Amino acid sequence: MTFSPEQRRDLTLVAILRGVSYLGDAIALIALYLRLAHGSHASWAIASLSIAASLPLVLLSPISGFIIDHTPVKRLLVFLCLFEGVVCIGIGLWHGTIITILLMALLSCFVAFSFPGYSALVPKIAGEENLTAANSTMQSVQGIAAVAGPGLGGLLVGLLGQSWPLYFDAISFGLGAIGTWFLVTDRRPDPGVERPKKGERDLGSGMRVLFSDGVLRPLVITFVVFLLALVMINVAEVFFITKTLHSSALMYGLVGTSFGVGNIVGAVASAKIKQHDVSLAKASLLGSIVVAVFVGVIGLVEHVGYMFPILVVMGVAVGVVNVTLTTLMTVRTPEAQRGRMFAASSAVFTSAEILGTVFGGLILTVVAPRTVFQIAGTVTTLFVLVFGPFALRATRSAKNIEMESQGA
């Protein structure tokens, strides 16, 4: 992998900007959870906040992806960052439950555009040959923010109150707007491609890329089940640690931190994986099977201490899966459709997270937390073993066709 000075400058700038933004989001979310936890109907309020943060990503994905692919993205991202910052200031100023949830939904509407925008811009900056390294960098900074954010959020709320974390998030968006403006690289529509007329706009091409591609389809299906399992055990984990294993809230927090540290290590290590379809698919499936097996193993432990090494290994595997699958989706998507692909993948994976939360809560009403881990591990392992061979067979077939065409 070789980056030009211009590529290195822009990629470093985007990584810093996105890292600060992820950190601001994590801090703000902790502050909002703490705000709503002290109100009436706290559980319903927090659930509604989570839905408001997620649902627009699903509903707006066809429109957002289309606009990202047909608009100069740098200028659009600058305005989106500014709008997001203004909404965060509003959330900091107005503390009512209803207005907080409504403003979170509005913020998520802007995120539905900015997420695929930055996701499609990173490959343009890095170049096609450096996608694995670029995705490794982006996943690493996101992992660092995920580890540091909750602790900083709690600290800021304790020191400064519940509004300042939102203002910090607003500042992070403002910095994002300024930094994005100074990027050298932009992603613009191909001037040789005529802009579609009204009524002819293909809003579903992102979904077709994910589910018509013989390599991506089985991997995406596997990852959806993978996400369902992870979210289900996230719901059960607090009860498993505090009720089943009779451990403390501190240990619950440290277990989560160990997973986050492993995630960062996995994302960094993924930069060394060869950017070939077969290598990426193998790494993604291997990471998925490791996570699936270890989820089931957690359901067997009798002491919380055993969870630390297990969660570190799981975190490493999740980091590898995130980087390799993102790279593979990018490589196998035409550049002109990547905005729609990232918007579609965000919609699919966010839907899986919503369903996983619902399933986890429902299952916990009828089975013990330990059983949730065992069910999630078993089902995910079966899905990887069933769909994994389809992905590997498709990648090898695609490689053979490519070699034959080059030979011809």
CATH number, domain containing residue 340: 1.20.1250.20
73 occurs within a structural domain:
yes
Same domain, 48 and 91: yes
DSSP state of 211: H
Distance CA 42, CA 99 (A): 15
What are 325-367's pLDDT values in tens digits?
A: 999 999 999 898 999 999 999 999 999 988 888 888 888 888 8
pLDDT on residue 326:
94
Same domain, 123 and 156: yes
Residue 192 — very low, low, confident or very high, per pLDDT cuts 50/70/90?
A: low
Burial 64-79 (b: 16+ CB within 10 A, else e): bbbbbbbbebbebbbe
191 occurs within a structural domain:
no
Helices (H), 94-130: 97-126
Same domain, 168 and 214: no
296 occurs within a structural domain:
yes
pLDDT, average across residues 177-202: 74
Tell me the residue range of the domain where 347 lies.
204-401
Same domain, 238 and 294: yes
Instruction: Count how many domains the chain has.
Output: 2
135 occurs within a structural domain:
no
Distance CA 139, CA 323 (A): 7
Distance CA 201, CA 212 (A): 19
196 occurs within a structural domain:
no
Amino acid, single-letter form, for residue 274: K
Distance CA 157, CA 295 (A): 33
For the chain, count helices (H), then strands (E): 14, 0
What are 231-243's pLDDT values in tens digits?
A: 888 888 888 888 8
Residue 203 — very low, low, confident or very high, per pLDDT cuts 50/70/90?
A: low
Distance CA 166, CA 214 (A): 43
Same domain, 380 and 320: yes
Residue 191 — very low, low, confident or very high, per pLDDT cuts 50/70/90?
A: low
Helices (H), 270-306: 277-298
327 occurs within a structural domain:
yes
74 occurs within a structural domain:
yes
Same domain, 229 and 157: no
Same domain, 166 and 277: no
192 occurs within a structural domain:
no
Distance CA 12, CA 342 (A): 21
The pTM (predicted TM-score) of the whole model is 0.90
Same domain, 173 and 212: no
| 3-state helix, strand and coil shares in percent for the chain, rounded to the nearest 5 | 85, 0, 15
What are 369-379's pLDDT values in tens digits?
A: 899 999 999 98
Provide, rounded to the nearest whole percent, the portion of the chain with pLDDT above 90: 53
- Of residues 56 and 198, more confidence is placed in 56
Same domain, 246 and 319: yes
Same domain, 334 and 299: yes
Same domain, 329 and 224: yes
Burial 287-310 (b: 16+ CB within 10 A, else e): bbbbbbbbbbbbbebeebeebbeb
CA dihedral defined by 357, 339, 179, 165, rounded to 10 degrees?
-20
Distance CA 87, CA 24 (A): 13
Amino acid, single-letter form, for residue 156: L
Same domain, 214 and 159: no
